[in-house]
Homo-oligomer: A and B are copies of this chain.
Amino acid sequence: MAVGVINSSEVHNVAGVKLAAVKSGIRYTDRLDLVLIELAKDANVAGVFTQNIFCAAPVSIAKSHLRKASPRYFIINTGNANAGTGKTGKEDALNSCRFVAEIGKIPTHQVLPFSTGVIGEKLPIEKIEAVLPKAFSLLEESSWREASLGILTTDTRPKLVSKKIRLRDDWVVITGMAKGSGMIKPNMATMLSYVFTDAIIDEDVLNQILNQVVNKSFNRITIDGDTSTNDACILTATGASKVAISDLNEEDTLRFYGTLESVFRQLAIELIKDAEGATKFITIQVDQGLNKSECLEVAYCIAESPLVKTALFASDPNWGRILAAIGRAEIKNLDLSTIEISIGDIKIISKGEVDDLYTEELVQPLMEKDEITISINLGRGDCNEVVWTSDLSHDYIRINADYRT
């Protein structure tokens, strides 16, 4: 299941980026499962990775390679996470980089490896080696749809967002893709996401930008509260356009950042809309908190409550469960009498009690929709946060009970 329709807007190629997707048969037969991405020589790359201490072998290798030099290739496989695989796993991840480096005629440390799929099984490295020559032969500037399909696991549809903006007298392109539909509560990164721009951006600035935008996109979503061992989010600036971000005036700089942020946010939202078993897309808006962390605490208590999520699945305006979720948030001196809760534009709780005008008939039609906004006003400060999540359905159980079988 998934919420809404597939995003099919125009995809702009990014000068300096070539992609290929092939079928390697790592887990599934006859499915694109290996993606190779080639970057121009002068591209700068920033990355953020999972904070899970059991991070996968490719994450360790990618982080170490990224510290050494600017990458020229990404090699991404699905069907196997190469996580919990110990020493062998690291050798396998390193070998996949070596195979790419040999064909690409570059040092091994200029390749970043990424894996996603089942944890704890050995990566069938020989299958990757076998299809790599074919992947190299297919590298094209236009293979975005194939690549966005080739990184999926339990996702039901690709996530691909592309924007073009005019800055001074030139065009700058931002195109990105992402995957992930379960084990999603990114912490400094998402499952797998790759965003590319042809703008010229210094490596230091690129890292700063990436950290800022993930905190307004991938770090604000949750499906099941489970943090993956393989999360990675990569931002690449190929520099192939004539536009250096450092040369822009303030207005154009803000426009570029705004566009970049909207690409990230849209990808994050696409992940939630295609969450495992999702039938609803839920926005949780928390306003007037004392600080951002308490707004997030309240938002996540609601977003991760199985009882709120099953009520949303049932289109049941059972606001008592929202109230109970807020009530267990770990916040000091939260005062009931200032709290407001709304669903859409219908106020349910005012000053901690049921609003005089509230009736269930008012809110029921909003609950039937496939996009629902829950707003909480804490009434005690001027900070706000938003978190996006999905409902909890029979299909989530089916998908995750059957995943390995």
Contact = CB atoms under 8 A, between A and B. Distances in A.
A228 to B, nearest CB: 7
6 contacts: A52-B324, A119-B323, A183-B307, A314-B401, A314-B402, A394-B394
Contact of A119 (B183, B313, B320, B397): B320
Contacts of A398: 394
Interface residues of A, number: 61
Given A51-B328, A320-B118, A328-B51, A397 B393 contact: yes
Given A87-B353, A353-B86, A353-B87, A225 B327 contact: no
Given A52-B328, A83-B320, A354-B84, A226 B307 contact: yes
B310 A400 contact: yes
Q: Shortest 7 CB-CB distances between A and B: which pairs? A: A119-B320, A54-B327, A86-B353, A314-B401, A310-B400, A52-B327, A227-B328
Interface string A364-405: 000000000000000000000000000011101110111111
In this complex, the member of A118, A319, A320 whose beta carbon has the largest number of chain B beta carbons within 10 angstroms is: A320
Contact of A53 (B51, B83, B336): B336
Contact of A224 (B53, B55, B229, B306): B306
Nearest to A319: B120
Contacts of A185: 328
A118 B53 CA distance: 40
A404 B311 CA distance: 9
Interface in A119-166: 119-120
A187 interface: yes
Interface string A297-327: 0000000111100110110101111011111
A397 B310 contact: yes
A392 B403 contact: no
A185 to B, nearest CB: 8
B353 A307 contact: no
